[in-house]
Amino acid sequence: QAEVLYAISPADMVAILDDLGLAHEYLGDSTNDFLVTTSNGFKFGVFLTVCDLPDQPLGCLGIELLASWGVDAGKEDLAAQKANDFNATMSLVKTYSIDGDGIYMQRYVILDQGVTSDHINDQISEFLGMSVNFAEAINEATGMTLNGGM
């Protein structure tokens, strides 16, 4: 049976990413921020959040999964609209655009009250599946080719 985590440490996250066969490195100086790369080269961020609070389990209570893609000039509005359409049909992730600077997909996993490591594995796997679906939807709507992430 999978271990129940009430908070997650960087070492726990490394073990989960290793379990999933995902390459990873720290982003900057923080051991709570990871750049993760799949076997096909897709990159996304994993950020451990809400960490080391008083009267809480030692570690972090949240995991943010974030992918981003650049948008071709002149296609920002169409990409933003497609992101909004995607949100209307998919509740697992949130997609958005910021001032035409790109499009983003985000998933937040909350560990309050405890979750299993299998649940976190599933959330990352589902996020990756949604990344493919989102990129395909944007590609179809705009004629752009989204790949690579981050």
The 10s digit of each residue's pLDDT in 42-58 is 899 999 999 988 998 89
Average pLDDT across the chain, whole number: 88
Tell which wins on pLDDT, 83 or 124: 124
Confidence of residue 95 (pLDDT cuts 50, 70, 90): confident
CB 68 within 8 A of CB 96: no
What confidence score (pLDDT) does residue 82 get? 84
Among residues 123, 101, 119, 105, which one has the least CA distance to residue 44? Answer: 105
Tell which wins on pLDDT, 133 or 48: 48
Tell me the percentage of the chain whose pLDDT exceeds 90.
48
What confidence score (pLDDT) does residue 149 get? 65
Tell which wins on pLDDT, 62 or 135: 62
In the predicted structure, residue 28 carries a pLDDT above the cut 80: yes
In the predicted structure, residue 139 carries a pLDDT above the cut 90: no
In the predicted structure, residue 94 carries a pLDDT above the cut 70: yes
Distance CA 73, CA 116 (A): 43
The gap between the terminal CA atoms of the chain, to the nearest Å, is 34
